[in-house]
């Protein structure tokens, strides 16, 4: 019986260690994931907080500056009602273009502009050319 207990204790230690790792991992990297409208309704409470926002790149909103390393665009809800201006600095992924669904990660500044440090376009394997 003693032997069995040893193994149980060993197993318990492994589980606790895993639990601890997962807990601290979440502490350091869990990020809220909002739709554009959800972010806007939160208003002031999310200023300066690192969040992810999903939206669609609005037509006619994309501007590139500084050799294409600074990108300004507007993302809208899937319904196209609420919109959020975004500034992204860095290498623009190839799949980024108007009409595509993107997830941006960064912070909302007090002017209501979203300062993104990460830009992840969702890339449909099928190509739907612009009408």
Partner 1 sequence: MADIGYIAQFLALVVSVYAAGAFILGWRGKHPALLSSARNGLLASCGLLTISVASLVYALVSHDFQIEYVYQYTSRDLALTYRLSALWAGNDGSLLFWAWLLSVLGAAVILQKREVGKELVPYAAAIIGVTQTFFILLLLTIANPFQKLPQVPADGMGLNPMLENPGMFFHPPLLLAGYVGFTVPFAFAMAALLSRRLGDAWLIVVRRWTLLAWLSLGLGNLLGAWWAYVELGWGGYWAWDPVENAGLMPWLVATAFLHSIMMQRRRGILKVWNMVLIILTFVLAILGTFLTRSGVLASVHTFAESPLLGASFLAFIGITIVSSLGLLYYRSEELKSEAEMESLVSRESTFLLNNLLLVGAAFTIFLGTFFPVISEAVRGVKVSVGPPFYNQVNVPIFLAIILLAGICTLIGWRRASLRNLVQHFLWPLATALILGIVLFILGIRQWLALVALPLCGFVLFTILYEWWRGTRARHRMRSENYLKAFWGLIMTNRPRYGGYIVHIGVIIMAVGIIGSSLYGVEKEATLTQGESMSIEDYTLTYENMDFYETESKAVVTATLLVSNQGKLLGRLLPEKYFHRSFEQPVTEVAIRSTLVEDLYVILVGWDEDGTTAFKVLVNPLVNWIWIGGVVLVLGGLIAFWPEWRRQPVPQSAGKRGE
Q: Which is nearer to partner 1, 63 or 111 (CB)?
A: 63
Binding partner 1 (rule: CB under 8 A), the pick from 8, 31, 41, 43 is: 31
Residues 69-98, interacting with partner 1 (CB under 8 A): 69, 90-95, 97
Q: Which two tokens stand for residue 119?
A: 């830009």
Q: Rank residues 43 and 93 by Cβ distance to partner 1 and give the closer one.
A: 93
Q: Which tokens belong to 86? A: 């975004």
**Separation between Cα atoms, residue 88 and residue 104, nearest integer Å:** 9
Cα–Cα nearest to 71, from 95, 47, 96, 49: 96
Tell me if 45 contacts partner 1 by CB under 8 A. Answer: no
**Chain Cα centroid distance, residue 56:** 13
Site string for partner 1, 10-29 (x = CB under 8 A): xx--x---x--xx-xxx-xx
- Which residues in the 49-68 window bind partner 1 by CB under 8 A? 52, 54, 64, 66-68
Smallest CA-to-CA distance from 116 within 130, 96, 98, 26 is with 96
Instruction: Name the 3-class secondary structure at 12.
Output: helix
Q: Which is nearer to partner 1, 111 or 126 (CB)?
A: 126
Q: What 3-state class would DSSP assign to 68?
A: coil
Chain contacts with partner 1 (rule: CB under 8 A):
3-4, 6-7, 10-11, 14, 18, 21-22, 24-26, 28-34, 52, 54, 64, 66-69, 90-95, 97, 101, 103, 105, 120-130
């Amino acid at each position: 019986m003693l032997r069995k207990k040893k193994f149980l204790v060993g197993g318990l230690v492994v589980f606790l260690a895993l639990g601890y790792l997962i807990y601290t991992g979440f502490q350091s990297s869990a990020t809220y994931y909002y739709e554009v409208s959800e972010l806007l309704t939160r208003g002031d409470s999310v200023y300066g907080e690192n969040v992810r926002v999903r939206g669609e790149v609005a037509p006619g909103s994309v501007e590139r500056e500084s050799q294409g390393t600074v990108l300004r665009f507007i993302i809208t809800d899937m319904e196209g009602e609420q919109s959020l201006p975004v500034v992204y600095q860095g290498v623009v992924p190839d799949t980024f273009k108007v009409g595509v669904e993107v997830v941006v990660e960064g912070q909302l500044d007090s002017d209501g502009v979203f300062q993104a440090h990460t830009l992840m376009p969702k890339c449909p394997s099928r190509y739907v050319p612009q009408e």
